[in-house]
Amino acid sequence: MKTTFALLAATAATAQAGMCCCDLYLLNVYLGSNGYDCTAGDYSDYSTRDCKGTPTYGWSYDCATDDAGAHTEANCADQTLMFANSGQRCAWNSAATTALGATAAAAAVIAYTL
């Protein structure tokens, strides 16, 4: 029972872990990506699709308060705006943090049960 509660608590803590990634296009030509990282608390520019790789530039960003929470997991896809194959496509990307979140959850469970 104690282990179950610890696992649920650790999983809930990592639910927001991830990034709202917006790929930018002009006439269907990829220009770059903007990543709003809710875990690290930063906004970064990427030269690769889906905000993969090393960011080219970044600064502080708070997903809960900046832009009234527009780039949180719940609202990320709503930021997609395309017209005539130009604009931005936004999607929640948790791939970069999934392994870290699972490791943290497992560590929390082990620490709690010991």
Span 88-102, average pLDDT: 68
- Predicted confidence (pLDDT) per residue in 34-77, tens digit: 999 888 888 999 999 999 989 998 888 887 777 878 888 999 99
pLDDT at 48: 92
Residue ranges per domain, the chain? 1-16+97-114, 18-93
**Which residues lie below 8 Å from residue 43, measured CB to CB, with a gap of 6+?**
34, 35, 36, 37, 58, 59, 60, 61, 66
At 6 the pLDDT is: 40
Residue pair 45/37 in contact (Cβ under 8 Å)? The answer is no
With cut-offs at 50, 70 and 90, classify the pLDDT of residue 114.
Answer: low
Rounded to the nearest integer, the mean pLDDT of the chain is 76
pLDDT at 108: 44
pLDDT > 60? residue 1: no
pTM of the model: 0.66
Q: Are 73 and 61 in contact (CB under 8 A)?
A: no
Task: Report the range out of 25-29, 38-42, 98-102 with the highest average pLDDT.
Answer: 25-29
- What average pLDDT score do residues 17-43 get? 92
Relative orientation angle of helices 95-113 and 2-13, to the nearest 10 degrees: 150
